[in-house]
Amino acid sequence: MSLAGKVALVTGGTGALGRAVVQRLVRDGAAVHVPCIVKAELEDCRKTLGEVFAQATIHEANVAREAEVEKLFAAVASKSGRLDVLANIVGGFAFAALSETDPATWQRMLELNATTCFLCCRAAAPLMKRSGGGRIVNVSAGPAINRGVPNMSAYGASKAAVLNLTQTLAQELGADRITVNALVPSIIDTPANRKAMPEADTSTWLAPAEIANVIGFLASPEGAIVTGAALTLSRG
């Protein structure tokens, strides 16, 4: 599943899952671009991933802002001349009853999960068309396919928007040889989740590298016949 000669952009590439995705795509031979606004995460990546992360091109960009997204993709085009893979990993989580969910939280979930995805897909599509096709992988969540989950109104709605956007774009961009898929992972084994759920049984949690392997497949030539899918990732 070689990606030699391909160019990828990974939003949220300095987070727990994003790092694993960057590692996988670099290993497969892609030239990887990573937008980042959290400098502490960036420095930690450089320390923990070493040479692998050094091969990625870092951009200072907030992908929730239209102007910064446009500048980011222009920089990718200028440096690499094409774009073949977009992995939208950036996102956020909120857990609260409706009565405790204020408009700011609602807006923040939509911005972090849905708006970032929309803006990056919109900016990626023209580059991918000029490159002869491409792969877009988004991250949805259980509430989007399970008819909702209590106390996750803002989060669930934003992830449902990601899933619908994915399925819409798969039909809209299919003729341009651009596949668009969404992952629906169960709990991911990250430091943040372990801190939030210290008593939880982590035996069924998903390692970021496992999810990155799925993204690697979807990004590869072998993934060309998968599009518009909501891929549930879990241990049952």
Tokens 């700011």 map to which residue? Answer: 104
Q: Which two tokens stand for residue 3?
A: 């990606």
Q: How distant is the alpha carbon of residue 101 from its chain centre?
A: 25
| Distance (Å, whole) CA 179 – CA 223 | 8
- Give the Cα-Cα-Cα angle 106, 146, 111 (nearest 5 degrees): 25
Q: Which of 155, 181, 208, 219 is catalytic?
A: 155
Tally of residues, the chain: 236
- The answer to whether the beta carbons of residues 61 and 90 sit under 8 Å apart is no
Active site residue 155: yes
The count of other CB atoms within 10 Å of the CB of residue 228 is 15
Q: How far apart are CA 106 and CA 4, in angstroms?
A: 40
Which residues does the annotation mark as catalytic? 155
